[in-house]
Amino acid sequence: MLRVLCLNGPNLDMLGRREPGVYGSLTLPELEERVRRWGADSGCEVECLQSNRESELIEAIHGAADFDGVVINPGALTHTSFALRDAVAAVDIPVVEVHISNVRSRDRWRRRSVLSDVAVHTIFGRGPDGYRAALRHLVNRASCPVETRRYGPHPDQVFDLRPGSGRRGAALVHGGFWLDTWGRDTTESWAVDLHRRGVATANLEYRRLGSGGGVVPTLADVAEALAAASDALSPPPPIVIGHSAGAPPAPAVAARAGIGGLVLVSGVYDPAAPGVDEVGAAAGRRFDPDAATRLDRLAPPDCPVLLIHGAEDRVVPPAQSEAAAAALGGVAELAIVPGEGHFDVLKPASESWRKVADWLERLP
């Protein structure tokens, strides 16, 4: 059981009453209640503290040596407090920074965080669920060794390497409708499960909409990351596993990289098609206005391909994988998994993920 300290900074005691259009209607006690419950579900015992005083937050961090990690929403101190930043840098425990709102799409001054580069991870714009993702990130970090490597100067040009038994490696391309509010923490559950199965992984980050991404820079990043990850994982050539919006960039760059197999999970290849979640359809128009990543515009990859989709996916309908399988002209194996939705496959206990793991096991 991990012990986690959850700190909330100035004005977060006003949640529920404070700008509900931005922060929602959940009060601080309700949020803390959820955080403790999410913690218990993911194997953490969580202690919560809120303070409007910078000094109290600094002292809480100094005193956190008994904890395995800290989740902190520093409120407006995020943008100004070098003293809080120094406190995070001074302690030898992982600190995850969380913001309920999308700090990068609001006032200009909110875009800067003086803490992000000393935090092990930053999550923003996912509402209260960001705290759950932060707890899971701490659990995942604690469950196997991880090394973050850089493949370019932008903060998002990184990947996380986790070791395997040397037999095989996989590069993971996370989804999230190409938006910068979603990051590689979403595919960490795969990385940890694959580590347990002896498969080394590189969990790729790349620039997304809001952080300098768009079809050209994003595909360039995924290609660059994949080349760097292949060197780190090789031999043999890695399998590439893409989820949702991370599925189409995978074949787009795979042809250039020489890979051992491709797994495309709950992929969104045509965001303008009926049934795609509205946020995804809007992001798709911004990301790839000319639909250059549509699978039928790409050369079929020269490696085994598995397409997998939950039959109950309400975010990206399974028709997308069916059309993609048809476009690949029979080179791909297609599995539509009854009873599972868009995010189920991210749980290692799901039937969808079991199918992926079995397929990997069967690869020569």
Residues that are catalytic: 23, 99
113 is a contact residue toward ligand DQA (CB under 6 A): no
Q: Which of 99/132 has CB closer to ligand DQA?
A: 99
Identity (one letter) of the amino acid at 309?
H
- Least gap, CB of 58 to ligand DQA (angstroms): 17
- Least gap, CB of 11 to ligand DQA (angstroms): 5
Q: Which of 75/183 has CB closer to ligand DQA?
A: 75
116 is a contact residue toward ligand DQA (CB under 6 A): no
80 is a contact residue toward ligand DQA (CB under 6 A): no
Report d(CA 215, CA 99) in Å as an integer.
27
Of the candidate spans 75-83, 157-165, 285-293, 333-341, the one that interacts with ligand DQA by CB under 6 A turns out to be 75-83
81 is a contact residue toward ligand DQA (CB under 6 A): no
Residue 111: which H helix or E strand, with range? none
58, 61, 67, 73: residue in contact with ligand DQA (rule CB under 6 A): 73
End-to-end, the C-alpha distance of the chain in Å comes to 38
Size of the site for ligand DQA (CB under 6 A): 10
347 is a contact residue toward ligand DQA (CB under 6 A): no
211 is a contact residue toward ligand DQA (CB under 6 A): no
203 is a contact residue toward ligand DQA (CB under 6 A): no
60, 70, 100, 172: residue in contact with ligand DQA (rule CB under 6 A): 100
30, 53, 63, 76: residue in contact with ligand DQA (rule CB under 6 A): 76
44, 103, 120, 250: residue in contact with ligand DQA (rule CB under 6 A): 103
71 is a contact residue toward ligand DQA (CB under 6 A): no
207 is a contact residue toward ligand DQA (CB under 6 A): no
Token readout for 94 is: 């992982």
Q: Are 308 and 266 in contact (CB under 8 A)?
A: yes
Beta strands at 121-124 and 147-150: parallel, antiparallel or unpaired = unpaired
Own/partner pairs, 294-297, CB within 8 angstroms, 24+ separation:
294/248, 294/269, 294/270, 294/327, 295/248, 295/251, 295/267, 295/269, 295/323, 295/324, 295/327, 295/328, 296/323, 296/327
2, 50, 54, 99: residue in contact with ligand DQA (rule CB under 6 A): 99
Report d(CA 144, CA 146) in Å as an integer.
6
- Helix axes of 188-196 and 129-143: crossing angle, nearest 10 degrees: 20
**CA distances, 348 to each of 97, 169, 189 (Å):** 25, 18, 7
- Least gap, CB of 78 to ligand DQA (angstroms): 6
The burial class, CB within 10 Å (0-12 / 13-18 / 19+), for 328 is buried
- Helix axes of 188-196 and 351-362: crossing angle, nearest 10 degrees: 50
- Least gap, CB of 123 to ligand DQA (angstroms): 10
Which of 310, 43, 319, 334 lies closest to 189 in space, CA to CA? 43
Token readout for 192 is: 């940890």
Of the candidate spans 96-104, 177-185, 197-205, 336-344, the one that interacts with ligand DQA by CB under 6 A turns out to be 96-104
52 is a contact residue toward ligand DQA (CB under 6 A): no
Which residues of this protein are in contact with ligand DQA, per CB under 6 A?
11, 73, 75-76, 78, 99-101, 103, 110
